[in-house]
């Protein structure tokens, strides 16, 4: 289960709590990171937001973050290996993430696909590994700028869903994160109609009512508009999740409370 509250993990769709997930990427050192998490934890405990809250720090911080979070927010990993153990130097298994206190893991992020050559088959294997370890898999999909300009965005995302999402995905074990690659870290964001159209397309292609998060330059100034769109089940937040003051504003922009 991600997050806190009586509805965290409720059957998904329009009646499900939104999920705000922070992806810290390769950022954060102990003392500073714990200070930011402390501010977030205090806010969640005080305000009891209408959404589930998840922070995915680097692997070196997961155990400390989980101790800090307690039941106020959830902690996840940014990647996992498909195998439970073995001679895979530098890799981390889903079981290791779970042992450190994680309850979820991001798989198939565009940076993993681009810089580490991850295919849909690899992403699907990692999603299965997450389930095996009792973690929720957040499966990332999204098109590049040339693919969008060529009119292939919907086809690319449909293909990634078909190849990356294992049979048996449910609202309890899987979420989808749509991140247009050209919007990640660029400050550019698709228009609201473009986001709504893509999320509707993704929803139509899924066999289960999974949460569909939007990611790609989500920030305090645009979060409320994005989170109000149909079929947007939350946000996967990059740079704006590193500072509690920014991330809290995005958490507070949630507007769906069953």
Counting Cβ atoms within 10 Å, is residue 71 exposed (0-12), middle (13-18) or buried (19+)? exposed
Read off the pTM: 0.94
- What is the pLDDT, as a whole number, of residue 184? 84
The three-class DSSP label of residue 103 is coil
- Could you give the CA distance from residue 204 to residue 182 in angstroms, rounded to a whole number? 23
- What is the pLDDT, as a whole number, of residue 176? 98
How is the chain split into domains, by residue range?
18-252
Q: Is the pLDDT of residue 3 over 60?
A: no
- Could you give the CA distance from residue 176 to residue 197 in angstroms, rounded to a whole number? 15
The three-class DSSP label of residue 132 is helix
Torsion of CA 20, 26, 31, 32, to 10 degrees: -60
- What is the pLDDT, as a whole number, of residue 201? 97
- What is the pLDDT, as a whole number, of residue 186? 83
- The number of angstroms, rounded, from the C-alpha of 54 to the middle of its chain's C-alpha atoms is 8
- Could you give the CA distance from residue 33 to residue 256 in angstroms, rounded to a whole number? 29
As a whole number, mean pLDDT of residues 127-151 equals: 97
Q: Is the pLDDT of residue 10 over 60?
A: no
Q: Looking at the domain that runs over 18-252, which CATH code has it been given? A: 3.20.20.70
Buried b (16+ CB within 10 A) or exposed e, 155-166: ebbeebbeebbb
Q: Is the pLDDT of residue 246 over 50?
A: yes
Active site residues: 109, 179
Q: Residues 6 or more apart from 201 whose CB is under 8 A from it?
A: 154, 157, 158
Stronger pLDDT, 223 or 2, i.e. the higher one: 223
As a whole number, mean pLDDT of residues 246-253 equals: 98
Q: Is the pLDDT of residue 188 over 90?
A: no
pLDDT, one tens digit per residue, over 14-63 is 568 999 999 999 999 999 999 999 999 999 999 999 999 999 999 999 99
């Amino acid at each position: 289960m991600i997050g806190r509250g009586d509805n965290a993990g409720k059957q998904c769709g329009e009646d499900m709590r939104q999920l705000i997930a922070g992806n810290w990427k390769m950022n954060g050192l102990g003392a500073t990171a714990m200070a930011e998490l402390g501010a977030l934890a205090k806010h969640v405990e005080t305000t009891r937001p209408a959404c589930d809250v998840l922070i995915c720090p680097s692997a070196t911080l997961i155990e400390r973050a989980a101790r800090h979070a307690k039941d106020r927010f959830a902690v996840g990993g940014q990647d996992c290996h498909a195998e439970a153990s073995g001679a895979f130097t530098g890799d981390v298994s889903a079981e290791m993430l779970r042992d450190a206190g994680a309850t979820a893991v991001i798989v198939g992020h565009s940076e993993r696909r681009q810089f580490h050559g991850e295919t849909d088959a690899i992403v699907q294997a990692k999603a299965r590994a997450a389930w095996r370890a009792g973690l929720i898999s957040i499966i990332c999909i999204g098109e590049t700028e040339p693919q969008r300009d060529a009119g292939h965005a919907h086809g690319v995302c449909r293909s990634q869903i078909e190849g990356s999402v294992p049979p048996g995905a449910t609202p309890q074990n899987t979420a989808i994160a749509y991140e247009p690659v050209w919007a990640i870290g660029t400050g550019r964001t698709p228009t609201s109609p473009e986001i709504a159209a893509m999320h509707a397309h993704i929803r139509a292609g899924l066999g289960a009512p999974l949460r569909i998060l939007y990611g790609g330059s989500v920030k305090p100034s645009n979060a409320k508009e994005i989170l109000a769109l149909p079929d947007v089940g939350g946000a996967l937040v990059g740079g704006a999740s590193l500072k509690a003051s920014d991330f809290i504003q995005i958490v507070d922009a949630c507007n769906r409370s069953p």
